[in-house]
């Protein structure tokens, strides 16, 4: 592997462009290639950043050392599996797949080849900066609200796999217990699946987590409340307001740190560090991403049962 890694991005849409620009700006990596089924879109993204566009996935994989999969979610597992079979470490935008068995196949093939697989649950970066993973206590309750306005992006999956999965991953990261039940209700308003959803997940140790998501809201909202035995933590991620009565020393100025201002960049840097052997793991591993996917699918089943 060359000293400067050759980065490649699968998918020339909005998220693919975010990743391509990161590879183009970060030290120790160059944007070498973009693959998209629409060659003109791949060229429009790759060429201004010094990369090449490829019309076939096979040729693309020969031209890169590391791969980001930023295509529509239904293609994540298939394209990630092709990348690891070609010997390439891979960073997969969330969700890691839309099917647990297919995600498992990616993880198993990567493990067999000793390749790094990372997934883009970037808000773990914020929790690390805040110090939430260092708290020596388990939360009793989590309440997360994530509302987005109408967009044409990610309509191939439900709002659970689109938005809620971020907070599902955070809940799993905060709890040492396993989820036991998932109940809720939702509505299908403008896509083929859930566009609004509320779900309560109960864990084996009694920890409960309430998730409220929408991608058809009139205004954006992104808040989280964590209840601990010693007090409460409330965060407004849009206004950067922070209230902490837990007694634990947390970073209320998290939003001012460079990593918080660019969580994608921090996540990709951690992936590249793991690929180079400079870090033991990426921020979110394949196993953790699969756990979030598994819980998201359980939430969808709970929504269907409550319909």
As a whole number of angstroms, the distance between CA 12 and CA 40 comes to 9
pLDDT tens digits, residue range 86-101?
Answer: 999 999 999 999 999 9
Q: Is the CB of residue 99 less than 8 Å from the CB of residue 40?
A: no
Q: What is the CA radius of gyration of the chain?
A: 19
Query: Which residues are CB-neighbours of 111 under 8 A, at least 6 positions away?
Result: none
* Residue reference for tokens 């597992």: 77
pTM of the model: 0.95
Beta bridge partners of 209: 142, 201
Q: Of 101, 138, 139, nearest to 294 (Cα)?
A: 101
> Measured between alpha carbons, how far is 34 from 54 in angstroms, rounded to an integer?
6
Assigned token pair, 7: 């980065």
Mean pLDDT score of the chain: 95
Mean pLDDT value across residues 221-238: 96
Tell me the two tokens of residue 32.
Answer: 């070498």
The contacts of residue 187 (CB under 8 Å, 6+ apart) are 194, 195, 196, 197
Domains and CATH numbers, the chain: 5-122+265-285 (3.40.50.720), 123-257+292-306 (3.30.360.10)
pLDDT in tens, 13-40: 999 999 999 999 999 999 999 999 999 9
> What pLDDT score was predicted for residue 190?
86
Does the pLDDT of residue 1 top 50, yes or no? no
Instruction: Give the residue-averaged pLDDT of 132-149.
Output: 96
Burial of 229 (0-12, 13-18, 19+ CB in 10 A): exposed
* Statement: residue 237 has pLDDT above 70: yes
User: Closest by alpha carbon to 102, among 79, 85, 120?
Assistant: 79
pLDDT at residue 2 greater than cutoff 90? no
In the predicted model, is pLDDT for residue 73 greater than 90?
yes
Task: Report, as an integer, the average pLDDT of 158-173.
Answer: 97
Orientation angle between helical segments 14-25 and 263-276, nearest 10 degrees: 60
pLDDT for 205 beyond 70: yes
Q: Is the dihedral of CA 17, 281, 161, 125 positive or negative?
A: negative
Residue with tokens 């990261």: 173
Report whether 110 contacts 136 (CB < 8 A): no
Range 102-119 average pLDDT:
98
Q: Would you state the pLDDT for residue 191?
A: 87
pLDDT for the residue 240:
87
């Amino acid at each position: 592997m060359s000293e400067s890694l050759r980065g490649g991005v699968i998918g020339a849409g909005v998220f693919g462009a975010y990743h391509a620009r990161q590879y183009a700006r970060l030290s120790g990596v160059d944007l070498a290639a973009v693959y998209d089924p629409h060659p003109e879109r791949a060229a429009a993204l790759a060429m201004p950043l010094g990369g090449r566009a490829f019309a076939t996935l096979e040729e693309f994989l020969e031209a890169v050392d590391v791969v980001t999969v930023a295509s529509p979610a239904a293609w994540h597992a298939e394209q990630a599996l092709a990348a690891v079979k070609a010997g390439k470490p891979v960073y997969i935008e969330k969700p890691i797949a839309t099917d647990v068995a297919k995600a498992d196949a990616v993880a198993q093939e990567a493990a067999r080849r000793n390749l790094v697989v990372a997934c883009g649950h970037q808000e773990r970066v914020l929790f690390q900066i805040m110090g939430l993973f260092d708290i020596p206590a388990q939360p009793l309750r989590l309440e997360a609200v994530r509302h987005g306005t109408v967009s044409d992006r990610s309509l191939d999956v439900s709002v659970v796999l689109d938005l809620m999965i971020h907070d599902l991953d955070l809940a799993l990261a905060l709890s040492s217990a396993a989820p036991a039940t998932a109940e809720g209700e939702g509505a299908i308003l403008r896509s083929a699946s859930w566009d609004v959803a509320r779900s309560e997940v109960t864990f084996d140790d009694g920890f409960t987590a309430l998730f409220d998501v929408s991608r058809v809201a009139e205004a954006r909202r992104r808040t989280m409340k964590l209840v601990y035995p010693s007090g409460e933590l409330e965060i407004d991620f849009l206004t950067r307001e922070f209230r902490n009565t837990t007694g634990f020393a947390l970073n209320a100025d998290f939003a001012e740190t460079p990593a918080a201002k660019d969580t994608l960049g921090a996540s990709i840097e951690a992936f590249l560090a793991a690929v180079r052997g400079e870090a033991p793991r990426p921020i979110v591993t394949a196993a953790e991403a699969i756990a979030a996917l598994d819980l998201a699918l359980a939430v969808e089943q709970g929504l269907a049962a409550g319909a």
